[in-house]
């Protein structure tokens, strides 16, 4: 069987059209046969949906209002988010969450938007994707308060939080997605946490075009580069890169059942 990776979080709409086609081609030939592109604005859905449709069966779409954009676009209605979650071409809701590093939107608006995404995720039965920065305690509080029977169906994307939040996410039944940060010299703490988390709950991502992994650091990121994060994770777990590819692809399929064609692409 050939190796099959999935980039669980990228922003293909941030690339120029010719760059994007080339990035998808390169990813597929590097074994990154599935990509989940994240639409961060509710007004961009049609544009991003077209990108996903053009790149079937390798690209699927998740939609949410990024915490950076909540003030600008307004806190979305729970019913609107639920309706988006029910769309056949939407496999997840997000990214949503709290960014207390940049604080581009007022904190109370970010929190309300985050809670509404979670509730809409429960109603439409698609998982949610969490962006959290410098907000571990507040993120934990909301995840716990909004849980149903102590469970949440979601993923902490681009993991850069502390151990307590990682452990809480695992306890709630959630997943943790590791980005190029895992390869950075100064990220020992993130590697230590990743090493201790169960492999059956880990995903890998690029967050393209941001955060290119070592040895591509500083360049514009692309989904093909997820293999560098996978390689570091294989070292941390003491397993082969093939095993990381297989496990993280299976994990992705379990979390995002509506995107199962990415796992078979
Ligand atoms: Zn993010
Ligand atoms: Zn993102």
What distance in angstroms lies between residue 10's CA and the mean position of ligand 2's atoms? 6
CATH number, domain at 22? 3.20.20.140
Domain housing 52: 5-264
Q: Name the closest ligand to CA 157.
A: 1
Q: What pLDDT is recorded for position 2?
A: 78
CA–CA–CA angle 107, 110, 115 (5° rounding) = 125
Q: What is the mean pLDDT of the segment spanning 5-30?
A: 96
> Could you tell me how far CA 196 lies from the centroid of its own chain?
20
Cα 19 from Cα 126, distance rounded (Å): 30
Which residue do the tokens 């080339």 mark? 22
pLDDT at residue 187, as a whole number: 97
The percentage of residues in the chain with a pLDDT greater than 70, rounded to a whole number, is 100
pLDDT confidence of 114, banded at 50, 70, 90? very high
Question: Would you state the pLDDT for residue 254?
Answer: 97
Q: Which ligand is nearest to the CA of 11?
A: 2
- Tens of pLDDT, residue by residue over 227-261, are 999 999 999 999 999 999 999 999 999 999 999 99
- Nearest ligand to the CA of 158 is 1
pTM over 0.85: yes
Query: Nearest bound ligand to CA 40?
Result: 2
pLDDT reported for residue 265: 83
Q: What is the pLDDT of residue 95?
A: 98
Q: In the structure encoding, which two tokens stand for residue 117, read together?
A: 């995404």
Task: Inform me whether the pLDDT recorded for 22 exceeds 80.
Answer: yes
| CA 260 to each of CA 32, 224, 257: distance values in angstroms, whole numbers, following the listed order | 15, 20, 5
Q: In this model, does residue 1 exceed pLDDT 70?
A: no
Cis before 23? omega within 30? no
Quick one: average pLDDT of 70-89?
98
List CB-based neighbours of ion ligand 1 within 5 Å.
95, 131
CA of 204 to the centre of ligand 1 (A): 13
For residue 264, what pLDDT band results from cuts at 50, 70 and 90? Answer: confident
What total of structural domains would you count in the chain? 1
What's the token pair of residue 191?
């590697």
Under 8 Å between Cβ of 211 and 221: yes
Encode pLDDT of 223-234 as tens digits. Answer: 999 999 999 999
């Amino acid at each position: 069987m050939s190796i099959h990776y999935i980039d669980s979080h990228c922003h293909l709409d941030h690339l120029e059209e010719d760059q994007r086609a080339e990035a998808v081609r390169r990813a597929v030939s590097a074994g990154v046969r599935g990509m989940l592109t994240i639409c961060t604005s509710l007004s961009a859905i049609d544009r991003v949906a077209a990108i996903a449709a053009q790149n079937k069966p390798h690209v699927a779409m998740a939609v949410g209002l990024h915490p950076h954009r909540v003030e600008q676009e307004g806190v979305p209605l729970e019913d609107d988010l639920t309706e988006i979650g029910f769309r056949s071409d939407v496999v997840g809701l997000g990214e949503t969450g709290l960014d207390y590093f940049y604080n581009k939107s007022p904190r109370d608006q970010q929190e309300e938007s985050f809670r509404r995404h979670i509730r809409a995720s429960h109603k439409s039965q698609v998982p949610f994707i969490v962006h959290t920065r410098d907000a571990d305690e507040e993120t934990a509080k909301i995840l716990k308060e909004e849980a149903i029977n102590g469970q949440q169906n979601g993923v902490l994307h681009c993991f850069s939080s502390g151990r307590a939040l990682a452990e809480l996410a695992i306890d709630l039944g959630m997943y943790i997605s590791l980005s190029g940060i895992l390869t950075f010299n100064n990220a020992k703490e993130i590697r230590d946490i990743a090493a201790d988390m169960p492999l059956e709950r880990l995903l890998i991502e690029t967050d393209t075009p941001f955060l290119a992994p070592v040895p591509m650091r500083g360049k514009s990121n692309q989904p093909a580069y997820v293999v560098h994060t996978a390689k570091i994770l294989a070292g941390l777990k003491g397993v082969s890169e093939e095993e990381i590819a297989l496990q993280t692809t299976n994990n992705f399929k379990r979390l995002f059942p509506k995107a199962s064609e990415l796992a078979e692409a």
